[in-house]
Amino acid sequence: MGLFRIMEFSVLGSIEVTVGGRRLDVGGVRQRAILGYLLLHANTVVPTSQILGALWPGTPPPTARKMVQNAVSALRRVLSKPALRTHPPGYQLHIDGGDVDLYEFRRLARAGREAIATGDQATGAELLRAGLSLWRGRALADLVENGVRWSELTAIEDERLSALEDRLDAELACGRHREITSELEVLTATDPPRERLCRQFMLALYRSGRQADALRVYRRTRTALVDGLGIEPGRDLQELQRRILTHEV
């Protein structure tokens, strides 16, 4: 088995590469950015022009292609040559998806949703919880701190939130409303306009015997939506408020 086969790559947080538990130094911001971008597009050929656009959103400097070539050469010395291939019109990072936390998260999330679809809410919640536990912070947090604003990172964050909400629905279906109220308190305070989280928090509070608190959360969310976005809550959230008021939940 080649060295690249036993490497583990982490992008759900600051970018890390480890071998046998030992963290490798993959270089400065440019090298980490190229590695991170290739990891987000693992096992596909990424054109050099696409890498240039990711690293220099405006007009790349005249020496940009040479800087990318130098950074790739440096990365090869760390990763071992078979992992990072020159493949016209660009480069391909060839790895086992199980060696990257992002792809392991996606596998667990998919398995969790499949379990939920068959009616096994407890197993689904457990699998989603395991996937979410791989996150150590925002995806490629160190690059984001240095100004990276890739659309791929926004999409990955949406994946995390979707998996989180699916897990919370499964927890509610298992009757764990009291166990998740504290978590939902923090989540809804961080992102007040997110209606699905609001709905889950309202249900968890109501089922814990806290009707007044559930209605307070609705009012807070409505205020955030009206003041921030100029829209009323969706029909589902309005209907939940009505059902809580009439004790029909």
Q: How many whole angstroms separate alpha carbon 35 and alpha carbon 53?
A: 15
Residue 191's φ and ψ, nearest 5 degrees, are -135, 70
pLDDT over 90 (residue 229): yes
pLDDT, position 20 = 83
Confidence band for 82, pLDDT divided at 50, 70 and 90: low
Out of 3.40.50.720, 3.40.640.10, 3.30.360.10, 1.25.40.10, which CATH number does the structure's domain 177-249 have?
A: 1.25.40.10
Give the per-residue pLDDT at 249.
84
**Side-chain-facing half-sphere of 238: CA atoms under 13 Å:** 6
For residue 213, what are its two tokens?
């608190």
Look over the chain and give the mean of its residue pLDDT values, rounded to a whole number.
94
pLDDT, tens only, 194-215: 999 999 999 999 999 999 999 9
C-alpha to C-alpha distances, 118 to 31, 165, 200, nearest whole angstrom: 44, 18, 21
Q: Looking at the whole model, is its pTM more than 0.75?
A: yes
| Mean pLDDT value across residues 25-42 | 96
CA 36, CA 33: separation in Å to the nearest integer?
5
Mean pLDDT of 55-63: 93
Reported CATH class of domain 3-97? mainly alpha
Q: What is the mean pLDDT of residues 132-161?
A: 96
Q: Region 85-108: what's the mean pLDDT?
A: 93
Query: Where do the domains of the chain lie?
Result: 3-97, 177-249
What is the distance between the alpha carbons of residues 70 and 12, in angstroms, rounded to a whole number?
26
